[in-house]
């Protein structure tokens, strides 16, 4: 069986013996691995294709409905984003997320509606060990417009095999601005947005 290119596991399962036992018995038998078979192409299921078509159509419809935001809409959208994801602790405007689009939106919103000293903006990266920290910081620096010298020391999390690193290759970034007045201004807008007076009747 080994000469027929059967694997140790296949032989052990066929004979009902331990794999280690098979390994000892066949170590002098010439073995040539079988060529790997290419996976057979399976055409996508019609329901999957319909799902993708629906998503694309609704994405297009969403772009048409939103259009280009007015200043008022942009302000309210940023406040809503901060209400859900931003820090509520007094003294620091802080927003963290792994989605680059959300970080980009937050930075544009913060710069548009608040008076900032760019030199006081800070960023920090949260990244699993084994992933490229230099490349990651360069990515977030370009996206946020915050120089790398204004980045704080990164947080390196222990690698977790249950997390798909290909989906989080850039980890999570936090952007923050230490200014009590600015944070209180943001929170004033959050409270106004969530008040009953702001909700359409």
Indicate whether 98 belongs to any domain: yes
Indicate whether 10 belongs to any domain: yes
DSSP string, 128-155: ETTS-HHHHHHHHHHHHT--GGGBPPPE
The pLDDT of residue 159 is: 65
Same domain, 181 and 83: yes
Length of the chain as a residue count: 201
Looking at the structure of the chain, the number of domains it has is: 2
Distance CA 138, CA 169 (A): 13
**Which two tokens mark 37?**
């078979």
Same domain, 84 and 174: yes
- Tracing tokens 């959208």 back to the chain, one arrives at 77
For every one of its 201 residues, what pLDDT tens digit does the chain have, with 9 covering 90 and above? 878 888 888 888 888 888 777 787 877 777 777 777 666 777 888 899 999 999 999 999 999 999 999 999 999 999 999 999 999 999 999 999 999 999 999 999 999 999 999 999 999 999 988 888 999 999 999 999 999 999 999 998 876 655 555 556 789 999 999 999 999 999 999 999 999 888 887
CATH of the domain at 156: 3.30.1330
Same domain, 86 and 185: yes
Same domain, 25 and 80: no
Same domain, 16 and 92: no
Residue 13's domain comprises 1-34
Distance CA 108, CA 130 (A): 31
Indicate whether 119 belongs to any domain: yes
Residue among 188, 169, 186, 168 at smallest CA distance from 177: 186
Across the beta sheet with 155-157, the strand order is 92-97, 172-178, 121-128, 155-157
The pLDDT of residue 17 is: 82
Indicate whether 171 belongs to any domain: yes
Same domain, 191 and 124: yes
Same domain, 83 and 23: no
Indicate whether 61 belongs to any domain: no
Specify the pairing of strand 155-157 against strand 121-128: parallel
**Which two tokens mark 155?**
């947080």
Indicate whether 114 belongs to any domain: yes
């Amino acid at each position: 069986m080994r000469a027929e290119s059967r694997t140790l596991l296949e032989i052990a399962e066929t004979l009902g013996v331990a794999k280690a036992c098979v390994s000892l018995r066949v170590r002098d038998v010439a073995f040539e691995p079988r060529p790997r078979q290419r996976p057979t192409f399976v055409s996508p299921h019609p329901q999957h294709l319909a799902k993708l078509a629906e998503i694309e159509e609704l994405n297009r419809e969403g772009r048409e409905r939103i259009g280009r935001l007015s200043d008022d809409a942009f302000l309210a959208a940023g406040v809503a984003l901060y209400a859900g994801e931003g820090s509520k602790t007094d003294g620091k405007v802080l927003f963290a997320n792994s989605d680059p689009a959300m970080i980009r939106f937050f930075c544009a919103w913060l710069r548009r509606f608040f008076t900032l000293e760019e030199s006081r903006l800070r960023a920090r990266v949260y990244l699993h060990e084994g992933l490229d920290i230099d490349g990651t910081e360069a990515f977030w620096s370009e996206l946020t417009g915050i120089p790398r010298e204004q980045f704080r020391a990164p947080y390196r999390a222990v690698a977790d095999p249950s997390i798909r690193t290909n989906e989080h290759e850039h980890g999570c970034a936090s952007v923050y601005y230490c200014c009590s007045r600015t944070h209180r201004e943001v929170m004033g807008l959050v409270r106004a947005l969530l008040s009953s007076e702001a909700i359409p009747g």
